[in-house]
Amino acid sequence: MTCPSAVTRSMYADAALTPEQRAGVDLHLRDCAACAAKVAAMNRERTGLRAALRRDDIDLPIPAFAPPARAHASLLAVLGALAVAGFAAAFWSAVADAIPSGLAWLNPLQSGELLERAISLVSFLAFEGNTMLNSALNFVAVSLTILLLTWTAVAFARNRSGAAMLLSLVVALVLPGLTHALEIRHGEGVITVGSGETIDDTLVAAGQTVAIDGTVNGDAFAFGRSVTVRGNVTGNLVTGAETVTIEGTVGGDVVGAGRSVVLRGAHVGRNVVGLGRDLELDTNSEIAANAVTAGDTARVDARVGVDLKSLGNNVIVGGNVQRDIETFAGSVSVLPSARIGRNVTAHVDDPAKLEIATGSTIGGTVDRQIAEVALRHNRYATAGYYVRQVVRLGAAFLTGLMLLWAFPVLRTLTLPTAGAALRSFGIGFVAAVALPVAALLVCLTIVGLPVGVMTFVLGAIGLYFSKAVIAQLIGRRLFQGPSGPPHYAATLFAGLVVVIVAINLPFVGGIANFALTLLGFGMIVTLLFGRFGGATAAA
């Protein structure tokens, strides 16, 4: 007696045989206990699987069809960009009205000059800033390499073996070069590079006091309370400290930021960018390319090989500038020792604020650009004030609308209790204070620069959109009813009207702006923590 095959028994158990085939198997199972036991086991297995897979019928809502973005979405994005540009112009004009005269040097965007300065910046980068752009591209390349290595590590940790194995070849080729080209020195006290010492790598130094008296054959990044460079840096020098003093030679660009930035007998092979309260480029210093300064007081007695651009409260020029000078300052003084090869353009609020001493030499023309001065009167009595608020409302509405369209979860955020509001305000305050500090600490290393910059940018974006989140919350409260709130665009617009009125109230408007911004920022941070932590954000 021949037993049926396993396939035949399986088809018998599943009732998949023809009646003739099934009758034949029935006859066989009466006489074969082994086959009967196997078929019985298959029947039990089938019954168990059906029970395990059985589920109750549940009526689940079918999500509405969301068509892909079409021309109207692109039009909305363009309108939003234009609205943001208009908002930026109105915002900086409002800032100019609010800044006291003693701090006016902090505002580089006087009303009516935004377009002119943007064109000037583009022209400067196109014709004079090639070396700066090359340095920036090199930095971006290093940053992308570091991000690639980080992604490789994450892929390996997630068992994406194919991608990890592929990119491990890149790691093997690139990583030894990077580690060899970087030397990091940090500590709580004094970090020094001795006068007889030579470093053939890129140097990153951070400490209370940093002194570079030797030779660095590469770029140097120095941060501390006091930074002094008396030696030779063949590449670029990037430094930030309370006091920065450069007395040696730098073959590339110099970017220095601090309360006081001084070049004393320094020789710079390319450009100098100085940011600080007091900036001094003495008569024994030489800059091969451009000099850019921004601060309260800038004195330039050095030889500048191309152009000088200066932003500040007081600008004093006594050196030799081979080409043009352009300043945005409260007052500009050209000393008798000054030698300017071409034109002098001074953006001041009074023609008398530009003083050109007898004995100075100017090869081109002198152009006094008189900046618009905001009148100190009741802002509520001017039509321009209300026009700016309408522009602000329109820009905030369009950008907030795009935010809520892109992230629907933000449409239903609420603060059910006063305790929840206080908690969100506290989280927003801590995040607003901690994010810049953390980003600054991360930026102290080359590896952390991209992460630090990204942290700054994301924090600024969150603060900008915080009032849109609060406006949506207020709008939903205004339209509470049995039928529920209307479309989120209507609630957003209504809430923004309330927010803009609140932040422009006399005496308390600034407090309201501060509180609403931190409250909305805290809600965004709480939501992000809940999502990334695997928890469901409270709606």
Check whether 16 has a pLDDT greater than 60.
Answer: yes
Place of tokens 């907030």: 400
Considering Cα of 54, then 55, then 56, then 57, what sign does the dihedral take? negative
Contact 198, 215 (CB under 8 A): yes
Alpha helix (H) residue ranges in 332-483: 383-406, 418-442, 449-478
Question: What residue type is 60 in one-letter code?
Answer: L
pLDDT at 324: 92
pLDDT at 396: 86
Check whether 304 has a pLDDT greater than 90.
Answer: yes
Check whether 156 has a pLDDT greater than 70.
Answer: no
pLDDT at 103: 40
Tens digit of pLDDT for each residue in 185-222? 887 788 999 988 999 888 888 888 999 999 999 899 98
Instruction: Give residue 511's pLDDT band: very low, low, confident or very high (50, 70, 90).
Output: confident
Considering Cα of 174, then 179, then 180, then 184, what sign does the dihedral take? positive
Give me the chain's average pLDDT, please: 76
Say how many C-beta atoms besides its own lie within 10 A of residue 259's C-beta: 14
**Cα dihedral: 467, 469, 473, 474 (round 10):** 20
Whole-model pTM over 0.85: no
Structural tokens at position 535: 């928890």
Q: Output the 3-class SS for 401-438.
A: HHHHHHCHHHHHCCCCCHHHHHHHHHHHHHHHHHHHHH
Q: Output the 3-class SS for 473-494.
A: HHHHHHCCCCCCCCCHHHHHHH
Q: Rounded to whole angstroms, what are the CA distances from 321 to 10, 246, 289, 334?
A: 95, 20, 10, 11
Place of tokens 């923590």: 529
pLDDT at 179: 40
Check whether 288 has a pLDDT greater than 90.
Answer: yes
- Rg of the chain's alpha carbons, rounded to an integer? 34
Characterise 517 by phi-psi region: left (phi > 0), alpha (psi -120 to 50), beta (else): alpha
Beta strand spans in 140-253 (E): 182-186, 190-193, 198-199, 202-212, 215-216, 220-229, 232-233, 237-246, 249-250
Check whether 477 has a pLDDT greater than 90.
Answer: no
pLDDT at 353: 86
pLDDT at 114: 45
Check whether 504 has a pLDDT greater than 50.
Answer: yes
Contact 189, 205 (CB under 8 A): no
Tens digit of pLDDT for each residue in 53-100? 665 555 556 655 555 555 566 666 667 666 666 666 565 565 555 544
Q: Residue 342 class from Cβ within 10 Å (0-12 exposed, 13-18 middle, 19+ buried)?
A: middle
Say how many C-beta atoms besides its own lie within 10 A of residue 311's C-beta: 21
Check whether 14 has a pLDDT greater than 90.
Answer: no
Beta bridge partners of 75: none
Q: How far apart are CA 148 and CA 230, in angstroms?
A: 36
Q: How far apart are CA 261 and CA 282, in angstroms?
A: 11
Say how many C-beta atoms besides its own lie within 10 A of residue 132's C-beta: 20
Across 438-456, average pLDDT: 64
Place of tokens 């004995």: 359
pLDDT at 393: 87
Structural tokens at position 432: 């607003």
Place of tokens 């590449």: 235
Structural tokens at position 536: 């469901």
Contact 31, 14 (CB under 8 A): no
